[in-house]
Amino acid sequence: ILNVEQSPQSLHVQEGDSTNFTCSFPSSNFYALHWYRWETAKSPEALFVMTLNGDEKKKGRISATLNTKEGYSYLYIKGSQPEDSATYLCAPPPHYGGSQGNLIFGKGTKLSVKP
Amino acid sequence: NAGVTQTPKFQVLKTGQSMTLQCAQDMNHEYMSWYRQDPGMGLRLIHYSVGAGITDQGEVPNGYNVSRSTTEDFPLRLLSAAPSQTSVYFCASSYGQGNYEQYFGPGTRLTVT
């Protein structure tokens, strides 16, 4: 089972601040990295799936980068809004053929944005 | 499409009782998984299935059984509930075959007293 680390565990920012957090994973046998957004009392929803070293993906004010050689991904939120408050999970699937490709999630970064 | 559905939404059990959490998906996904959410622990994988008739254990399988007789359904059974199984349970599915983006159900909140 892959060891996935996310930091920080929690983050409190003011509305309008930009912020970022990290997902670290073993760089060997990399296949893909998933980011999910999980609002309280709801189900997790996929944000990005990233597969190539140097990948950068963007959705509105949220973007993510990927470094497969050193084993990390950053998630950035520009100009945080209260509706961005959620837990952000990352999940690198085990290499296909290793553990049948299911997702093991990090513990997440809980973001709180104060108005 | 209804996506991934779970029943019940809430359940209270007494220690030692058994029950089955239901999960169904109508997207013809090959892969299905069960996760539990606990404070400070994020989402932990209980069991998963890569197709009808094939299941395997995840990170925290003890106390749970699964079966996958059809592509659509993936029930999770608690044979003898324990207070440590108090949690929120999420079922998820994905296409598989290299596409592992998970679609989650709404969750079942289980309390074992």
Separation of alpha carbons A86 and B41, rounded Å: 15
Residue closest to B47 by CA, chosen among B19, B29, B23:
B23
Task: Point out the least confidently predicted range of A30-39, A58-67, B44-53.
Answer: A30-39
Most confident range (mean pLDDT) of A17-26, A40-49, B6-15, B96-105 is B6-15
Q: Least CA distance to A4: which residue of chain B?
A: B42
- A 22-61 → B contacts, CB under 8 A: 32, 34, 36, 42-46, 49
Residue closest to B32 by CA, chosen among B2, B64, B75:
B75
Residue A89 has its nearest CB partner, among B43, B50, B96, at B43
Mean of pLDDT values over A81-96 = 84
- The verdict on A1 touching B (C-beta cutoff 8 Å) is yes
Higher pLDDT, A32 or A22: A22
Q: Inter-chain contact B100–A46, Cβ cutoff 8 Å? A: no
Q: Inter-chain contact B105–A104, Cβ cutoff 8 Å? A: no
Q: Does pLDDT of A96 surpass 80?
A: no
A40: exposed, middle or buried (Cβ count in 10 Å: 0-12, 13-18, 19+): exposed
pLDDT classification of A51: cutoffs 50, 70, 90: confident
Mean of pLDDT values over A88-107 = 69
Residue B105 has its nearest CB partner, among A43, A49, A91, at A43
Backbone torsion region of residue A54, taken as left when φ is above 0, otherwise alpha when ψ lies between -120 and 50, otherwise beta:
left
What's the distance, CA B110 to chain centroid?
Answer: 12
* pLDDT confidence of residue A1: 52
Q: Inter-chain contact B31–A102, Cβ cutoff 8 Å? A: yes
Are B26 and B2 within 8 A, CB to CB? yes
Give B2-20 pLDDT, tens digit per residue.
899 999 999 999 999 999 9
Task: Give the mutation candidate from A6, A48, A103, A107 for the B interface (greatest B CB count, under 10 A).
Answer: A103
* pLDDT confidence of residue A97: 40
Task: Kindly report the backbone phi and psi dihedral angles of residue B87, in degrees, each rounded to the nearest multiple of 5, phi listed first.
Answer: -175, 175
* pLDDT confidence of residue B39: 83
Quote the tokens at residue B37: 């959410």
pLDDT classification of A10: cutoffs 50, 70, 90: very high
* pLDDT confidence of residue A102: 67
For chain A, give the longest Cα–Cα distance: 46
Q: Least CA distance to B46: which residue of chain A?
A: A104
Q: Which residue has the tokens 């892959």?
A: A2
Give B30-83 pLDDT, tens digit per residue.
999 999 999 878 889 899 998 999 999 988 999 999 999 999 999 999 999 999
Q: Does pLDDT of A19 surpass 80?
A: yes
